Amino acid sequence: MMRISSQNKKIIKDFLIIDLVWIIGFHFFTFLQLTEIDSYIQIPRDLLLQKIKGFNLIFSSLVLGTLFGFINLYIQRNTSRLRSKSYGYIIVTYSVVHIILVFTVLTIVAVLSVSIFSETVNRDNLERIADFFLSKNLLSILVYTYILSVCIFLVKVINKKLGEGVLWNLIMGKYRQPKEDRLLFLFMDLKSSTTYAELLGHRKYSELIQDCFSDLTPAVSACHAKIYQYVGDEAVLSWKYNKGIERADCVRVFFHFKSILKTRSEYYHETYGFVPEFKAGIHGGRIMVAEVGYLKRSIAYHGDAINTAARIQGECNQFERDILLSEKVVKDILKTNHADFIELETIQLKGKKEKVKLFSIDRFEI
């Protein structure tokens, strides 16, 4: 059986959600009675109510949902190219594309509905379809669908900015009161960042970080990680503890990212003069999750587990290792996975009372 990748699963899920929203949106539009398309087509009333409206609603919403789903996918995959365009250019282009798509779909649906459900396609029916496209009802549909598509697009953008699932948790107030959870954290930082910043200058260095974190995205999706935050040249990833351990995704994501950077080495050499390398620290455990802030709300994690993960990553230079893990995480990974971890030392992390035994790993099958 062909296995669907996690990235393709996400794409399919997004398409289904967008289609569902369009179906609900079209039914809500009819509920508000913003238009009476049926008055323009001479078909028996019972057939109209039972068949024509149902066909028009379902077919139109599915087609428009799928088309705008492709637009959303295009925008996601061409973010770097669109970044250079002004917001005015993007808005005007999106508006023109929207009008063309909606007008085309409505024309096809109107002709199909008449040809399928009417006994004859006569001149009167075609004239009534033409009357509809010259009426104020068309403007109502264009405005409503434009608002609907923009709302869907904005929700996607906000959800992407906050991190997957964060927007829903904020809306539902899930973490208004702090709650305990068990999470796994990976802190990943650019090696020799100060040297690179001085070499490239702040503008070119910022472009480097943009490229690196853009290339991190496929690895994050493939390994089911959530991006907790970006801080300068550092990325913090998280998983539900058991999810990150089960397939060793917390380790896999790092080596997946390394392979992406290696594949793109020619680009990095030509653009920046070197291929960036990262170092990572991994630890997990029980932490508190809380909604914080008033002017700017976000979900914050507090506890020893996240602090320890950050401290472990800070020891990479000392041990001259790309990745370090705590003994606790290594033991849990080895319960369900095979990997050749390298035992290092038991050390006293800065600001910690208890000592931690550290492990590393040189390669991992992705």
Q: Is the dihedral of CA 172, 178, 181, 186 positive or negative?
A: positive
Segments of 172-259 assigned E as strands: 179-190, 226-231, 234-240
Q: According to the model, what pLDDT value does residue 119 have?
A: 56
Rounded to 5°, angle at Cα 204 from 199 and 207: 135
Using DSSP, how many helices (H) and how many strands (E) does the chain show? Answer: 16, 8
Q: At what angle do helices 193-200 and 202-222 cross, to 10 degrees?
A: 130
Q: According to the model, what pLDDT value does residue 187 have?
A: 97
Q: According to the model, what pLDDT value does residue 148 have?
A: 84
Q: According to the model, what pLDDT value does residue 159 have?
A: 76
Q: According to the model, what pLDDT value does residue 285 have?
A: 94
Q: According to the model, what pLDDT value does residue 114 have?
A: 65
Q: According to the model, what pLDDT value does residue 106 have?
A: 78
User: Which listed CATH number (3.40.50.300, 3.30.70.1230, 3.30.460.10, 1.10.10.10) goes with 166-360?
Assistant: 3.30.70.1230
* Predicted structure pTM score: 0.72
β-pairing, 298-302 vs 323-326, is unpaired
Residues 288-303 have pLDDT tens digits of 988 888 777 788 899 9
| CATH 3.30.70.1230 domain locations along the chain | 166-360
Positions in the chain whose pLDDT score sits under 70:
1-8, 30-58, 75-87, 113-126, 128-129, 132, 161-163, 366
